Structure 1
């Protein structure tokens, strides 16, 4: 059975709500709850917590984390058999999130851009899994608890920063487990595309420059970014074209050339398909 992952689109990043620490004696059990409206991240430090969500049941042992979802029914499977302690962290997100097995699932780029004016990065967290070594040693859960005891005005910024670092560690651990080479190659490809987007790039030219077969580059990009190199290149060129349309009076033909499109007609066609209006209308819409 493939592990279940929770995929969170960002930015905006999930935001911290509250946290606490709980200790159960043998015979105690987690309360039943339905549709809390917020994520519940449980970090077990000692013992074993027996908990379920809808048709799933888990025994969450020391050194493991469980992420309960905001729109599900949670219940105790059975009482604790030994003293069990855990830290819980509640958080929420206004971006798209979903539950899936196996490979990463990517947020809708265009829909996300319409709402948040930027393309999404997908944070990938296992619903149940061991805490990454750096996370377990960092003491970040304890820092969150200590900050909760102080003034909110001084704690709120630090809590969000620590919480995001927790998510980053958990996300990066999944990338490493899934194959760090794929992530590294995808990032190298992305950097090359950003630095050379104005040039006439082809599949062959990209493969020669990065010393990998194009099909391998495409697999790595698809896995990490959800796009092939050429799909990413077109999106990036269009983003740069938008900036030039908004910030300069450069003619549209010159913008097409500067951003690497083979002709003005092709640029206008791709822009209209992606944005929904022509480059000229886009410029007029945002000009005074």
Structure 2
């Protein structure tokens, strides 16, 4: 579990995207430039020496094998000049999503309503440590060297190679991908989500959740609300209605058959819940996309 550092939560999709990168060499007496509200994320990987840098009220002495994520809307400044030769990689990236910085693995809220307009599931929260001792510094430097090499290639090929390598780097830094940093709250919420997706056609009860996941239903509910902003029943209803949308678009099945297929016993109740969520009836929804 990460201690003594903030965690930056970035919902995906859409995934953050790569902008540019570089390799900096600071000799004794050189220092990082002061910048304010640059509008993009600035990720630093120290290869050698010590970099003295601050963000707002926080200050760090970054050494070889450490990383720091500087945030788009903050003031970044040099605490003091380098005392010896310092080399580091830097990477700029951006996201159009609303991101959060917290002191825990679980963000206070996630923009599920914003995402549900475009995507069929709750967003995944990429969890990047603010300051970190890189578990695999050699692999990190190799990925950064690869990104630098791609910058010399034609844009038509470099764009995809850079984005792919950047996402590999993000995956390596995402705390949710690393077992030693896994949050019990997030882990249980994800298990509950998978259970719902695998069993949404069946009748799910608080007892069935508890038996399947080996936790009290109240605790499961607390974890899901923290991670997804929804109770298990809310998520179950959400997922059933999203599956119903797919069937309305891809089949000519009667509404009553679709209702039964996605787990509703009563077709009028299904139509009522669908209308409340989407602002139109199942028939109207289907008609929108029919010739």
Global fold match (TM > 0.5): yes
Aligned residues of 2:56 and 2:75 also touching (Cα < 8 A): yes
Corresponding residue number in structure 1 for 2:61:
59
Unmatched tracts of structure 1, length 5 or more: none
Corresponding residue number in structure 2 for 1:241:
244
SS at match of 1:140: helix
Aligned residues of 2:121 and 2:239 also touching (Cα < 8 A): no
Change (3 A) 1:37 1:240: same
Matched, 1:80 2:82: yes
Change (3 A) 1:72 1:236: same
Match of 2:281 among 268, 272, 278: 278
CA distance in 2, matches of 1:82, 1:174: 35
Match of 1:269 among 258, 267, 272: 272
SS at match of 2:96: coil
Match of 2:50 among 42, 48, 51: 48
CA drift of 1:283 comes to: 2.0
Matched, 1:24 2:20: no
Corresponding residue number in structure 2 for 1:189:
192
Aligned residues of 1:36 and 1:71 also touching (Cα < 8 A): yes
Q: What is the root-mean-square deviation of aligned Cα atoms in Å?
A: 2.4
SS at match of 2:128: strand
CA distance in 1, matches of 2:8, 2:151: 26
Q: Which moved more, 1:17-26 or 1:49-58?
A: 49-58
Match of 1:112 among 111, 115, 123: 115
SS at match of 2:174: helix
CA drift of 1:167 comes to: 0.8
Change (3 A) 1:184 1:37: closer
Aligned residues of 2:110 and 2:228 also touching (Cα < 8 A): no
Question: How many residues get paired?
Answer: 287
CA drift of 1:181 comes to: 5.4
CA distance in 2, matches of 1:121, 1:6: 13
CA distance in 2, matches of 1:86, 1:248: 55
TM-score (norm 1): 0.89
Q: Which moved more, 1:108-117 or 1:31-40?
A: 108-117
Change (3 A) 1:226 1:167: farther
TM-score (norm 2): 0.88
